[in-house]
Amino acid sequence: MTVADDAPAAVPDAAVVPGMQDSYEEFYLNAPCGLLTMAPNGTVTHINDTLLGMTGRERRDVVGASFTRLLTVGSQMFFETRFQPILRLQGEIREVAIALSCADGSSLPVLLNAVVVADGNGQPRVIRTAIFDSTVRQDYEREMLAARRSAEASEVRVRALQDASIAFGGATGEEELAEALVSSARSTFSASNSAVVLLGDDGELSVVAGVNPLGDALSLQELVPMASVLELSPVTSIGVDGVDASTAAIRAALAAARQHTVTVTPLVDRDVPIGVLLCFFGRERDLGDQFSSLQQALARQAAQTLTRMRLRAQLEQLALYDRLTGLATRKLLEERLAVALESGTPMALVFLDLDGFKGVNDHLGHTTGDAVLRVVADRLRSVVRAEDVVGRFGGDEFVVICAETTSVNAMVVAQRIAAEIRLPMDGIDPAFPITASVGVAVYTPASSDVSAAELFRLADGAMYASKRAGGNRVSVFGA
């Protein structure tokens, strides 16, 4: 057996203890680690016996061949993409974890140090490596890696749900909630795009938040398989590689938008579908059970929050709008009046009470009475400006807040109201005519400093003046 010429020759060493000599050659060949030298292009030039023993290979099969042939495929890829560039640029690398491919087909985990030896011109001459068996260490490392990955996966899940719960809880409206769901879906699933699609009261789907990259190519109805949403199916996934004829249009749109897959996760409120979460992926992904179960969990959390939000909004609506006439309630009137006063611009409050309403109720019944109230509400709405607020104060009393108006204009509105109310009503016996006693209170910021309650009292007083004068007329306070 010859050691090739680059390896050190046996050199007598005077300094060693007599009887303890170890030649350089002996030491090289049987060093307690694998030693290997290769040319800059990766061709093996020298290998020691230790490394041959570790791999079970013959010197003649290794020397002259590429170093990469001693590596497993995974390590070859790593060697080429990361190891080589760094070694070239840096001249040295240490403690790289790779695996050798042994003669018997097994693989041997090793740690490798390598150094580039340059010639006089700074050009690489040879690459020297030292290789250590790290089976025990890497088994442990692999276990750690597996544990780390699984810990990370569950951490992702917990964090996603926690973050989402905070973000959803902080949302003040449906749109904000949808935005929070989109952003949480994008980061949790590394989705290229995500969108929240909600079913409106009109049964139409619309994108409330996020981006639907297929928007130009497909209508939402074509994209979202409503049937599957209605059947409350779990996550549906459609990829460009699919073959199902029913998804051909979606697959074509995905390809055109450079997306690989879209997942559709229903948003469900106690068995009622309210929309879907769309997630788009730019490449083929492993969308396993854990993945879709996390999508469902996020969707469920968002849907529950959305439902709570809608219930709260309904309750607020009930408190703010009169159920019979749809007009503002006293609560909303008070809020709006406070806002109008705060704006510091001139405004007017029109207060009216129906004349003859008690007679209708007593003689024609409460159903007819309710019909009269609804007609009055419609007429009031038709004579005021869009920015004015019409409300039902209680019983047969109504209020109109005319923001940013002058006393003259308020008077005109009040007269128009009185004229409109006194018109005959379809289906109501003309023997029971309905008219209105109207009172107006005008507020001018420069001249007065009144509270909302005071303004109501003044308008109410003016209304009573009309009532006392026989009704069916307008009185003004503070003109």
Partner 1 sequence: MGSLPAERTDVLRRNNVTVSGNPAGRPMVFAHGFGCSQEVWRMVAPQFAEDYRVILFDHVGAGGSDVSAYDTGKYDSIDGYASDVLEILAELDLQDVVYVGHSVSSMIGVVAASRDSSRFGALVLVGPSPRYINEGEYVGGFDRADITALLDNLDLNYLGWSSQMAPAIMGNPDRPELGDELTTSFCRIDPMIASQFARVTFLSDNRADLAAVVTPTLVLQCTDDLIAPTPVGEYVHEHIAGSTLVRLEATGHVPNLSSPDEVAREIRSFLA
- Binding flag, residue 81, partner 1 (CB under 8 A): yes
Query: What distance in Å separates the CA atoms of residue 254 and residue 320, rounded to the nearest whole number?
Result: 46
Closer residue to partner 1, CB minimum distance, 93 or 297: 93
How many residues are given for the chain?
Answer: 479
Indicate which single residue of 148, 312, 358, 385 sits in contact with partner 1 (rule: CB under 8 A).
Answer: 148
Smallest gap from residue 163 Cβ to partner 1 (A)? 14
- Joined tokens for residue 237: 């996934």
* Shorter beta-carbon distance to partner 1: residue 142 or 312: 142
Closest CA to 413 of 376, 378, 438, 444: 438
Of 7, 93, 161, 226, the one binding partner 1 (CB under 8 A) is 93
What mask of x and - would describe binding to partner 1 in positions 175 to 214, judged by CB under 8 A?
-----------xx-xxxxxx--------------------
159 forms part of the interface with partner 1 (CB under 8 A): no
DSSP symbols for 20-82: ----HHHHHHT-SSEEEEE-TTSBEEEE-HHHHHHHT--HHHHTTSBGGGGB-HHHHHHIIII
Q: Is 242 in the site for partner 1 (CB under 8 A)?
A: no
The binder of partner 1 chosen from 37, 48, 101, 138 (CB under 8 A): 138
CB of 160 to partner 1, least distance (A): 12
Q: Which is nearer to partner 1, 33 or 428 (CB)?
A: 33
Among 9, 106, 149, 331, the residue binding partner 1 under the rule CB under 8 A is: 149
**Distance of alpha carbon 155 from its chain centroid, rounded?**
18
Helices (H), 257-389: 289-320, 330-342, 357-364, 366-383
Task: Please state the closest distance from residue 150 (CB atom) to partner 1, in A.
Answer: 13
Contacts of 462-470 with CB under 8 Å at 24 or more apart are 462/351, 462/438, 463/351, 463/352, 463/353, 463/437, 463/438, 463/439, 464/437, 464/439, 465/439, 466/437, 466/438, 466/439, 467/353, 467/355, 467/437
Residues 19-58 that bind partner 1 (CB under 8 A): 40-42
| Rounded distance between C-alpha atoms, residue 68 and residue 79, angstroms | 8
CB-wise, 83 or 357, nearer to partner 1?
Answer: 83
Query: Pick from 24, 27, 78, 464: which binds partner 1 (CB under 8 A)?
Result: 78
Minimal distance in Å, beta carbon 304 to partner 1? Answer: 25
Which one of 29, 38, 47, 96 is in contact with partner 1 (CB under 8 A)? Answer: 96
Q: Is the dihedral of CA 50, 53, 59, 61 positive or negative?
A: negative
Task: Locate 238 and state its tokens.
Answer: 């459609």
x/- string (CB under 8 A) for partner 1, residues 277-296? Answer: ----xxxxx-----------
Cα first-last separation, the chain: 121
Q: Choose among 100, 187, 332: nearest CA to 340.
A: 332
- The tokens describing 98, both together, are 């790779």
Interface stretch with partner 1, choices 46-54, 135-143, 317-325, 368-376 (CB under 8 A): 135-143
Residue 40 Cα distances to 44, 127, 256, 276, angstroms: 9, 6, 45, 57
Of 99 and 327, nearer to partner 1 (C-beta) is: 99
Question: Exposure of 249 by Cβ count < 10 A (0-12 exposed, 13-18 middle, 19+ buried)?
Answer: middle
CB of 241 to partner 1, least distance (A): 9
Which of 94, 310, 312, 358 is in the footprint of partner 1 by CB under 8 A? 94
Using CB under 8 A as the binding rule, whether residue 139 contacts partner 1 is answered as no
101 vs 79: CA distance, rounded Å: 13
- Residue 159 contacts by C-beta under 8 Å, 6 or more apart in sequence? none
* Closer to partner 1 by Cβ: residue 79 or 477: 79
Residue 122 beta carbon to partner 1: minimum distance, rounded to whole angstroms: 7
Q: How far apart are CA 281 and CA 186, in angstroms?
A: 10
Residue nearer to partner 1 on the CB measure, 10 or 97: 97
Site membership for partner 1, residue 147 (CB under 8 A):
no
**Minimum Å distance from CB 3 to partner 1?**
26
- Residue from 4, 22, 139, 142 touching partner 1 (CB under 8 A): that is 142
Per rule CB under 8 A, is residue 331 in the interface with partner 1?
no
Q: 95 or 426: whose CB is closer to partner 1?
A: 95
Residue 454 CB, nearest distance to partner 1 (Å)? Answer: 57
Could you give the angle at which helices 366-383 and 407-421 cross, rounded to 10 degrees?
140
Q: Which residues bind partner 1 (CB under 8 A)?
A: 40-42, 66, 68, 72-78, 80-86, 88-99, 111, 116, 118, 122, 138, 141-142, 144-145, 148-149, 186-187, 189-194, 255, 258, 260, 281-285
